[in-house]
A = this chain, B = another copy of it.
Amino acid sequence: MQKNSVKVSMAVVRRLPKYYRYLGDLIQNGVMRISSKELGKLMGLTASQIRQDLNCFGGFGQQGYGYNVEELQKEIGRILGLNQTYNCVIVGAGNLGQAIANYEGFRREGFALSAMFDVNPRLIGNTIRDIKIYDIQDLGTYVLENDIQLGIICVPKEQSQGVADTMMENGIKAIWNFAPADVQVRDNVVIENVAISESLYTLTYLMNEPQLEI
């Protein structure tokens, strides 16, 4: 997939989804081809950086022409693993869990949500978009028996590590954690700790940033 198995830096990896999204928008707008210069202008990156990033994975462009938008998006999707299906569960069926369950882009990209879990007896047994909410007691068994690869944590921070542990004991491969506490994972399990409020605090920092005296 990537050139002679050299590790790609996280800086590059974190830009890939953004490329994927912008290219998707271009496809929607009927754009067939694009140069690194044009794409850079659109995304706020340099043309040089875009070519460097893409060439970590291969030469997808053509001299004198640029990149075929549809082809490039497909390639990046494949690099990101979006050509596969992932069996998912959401733990925590509050507003955030429901928001994710309702997001249609989620299933479109191959995330097969099959169950949600909660502690609240008033939620257990309900369904959200045909997805049943189960008792969190049954999480471990469910993950194991249904070959769940991806667990999404939307519980309060006090419960997040416990939920992650249950998932890992039953063979989960990846955890997407929205609780505002970093979850620790064992080897061979990958984690994204989202901590949404961090981007809010970055924003308030920027609101108050002292202007430079030159």
Contacts and interface: CB of A to CB of B under 8 A. Distances in A.
Interface of A: 1-2, 5, 7, 13-14, 16-18, 20-21, 25, 79-82, 84, 86, 94-96, 98-99, 102, 105-106, 109, 111, 149-150, 173-174, 176, 180-181, 190-192, 194-208, 210, 212-213
B205 A13 contact: yes
Contacts of A7: 212
Please name the 4 residue pairs, one residue from A and one from B, whose CB atoms are nearest each other, closest first.
Answer: A95-B99, A81-B204, A17-B198, A17-B201
Nearest to A211: B5
Nearest to A25: B181
B201 A82 contact: yes
A46 to B, nearest CB: 16
A86 B204 contact: yes
A200 B176 contact: yes
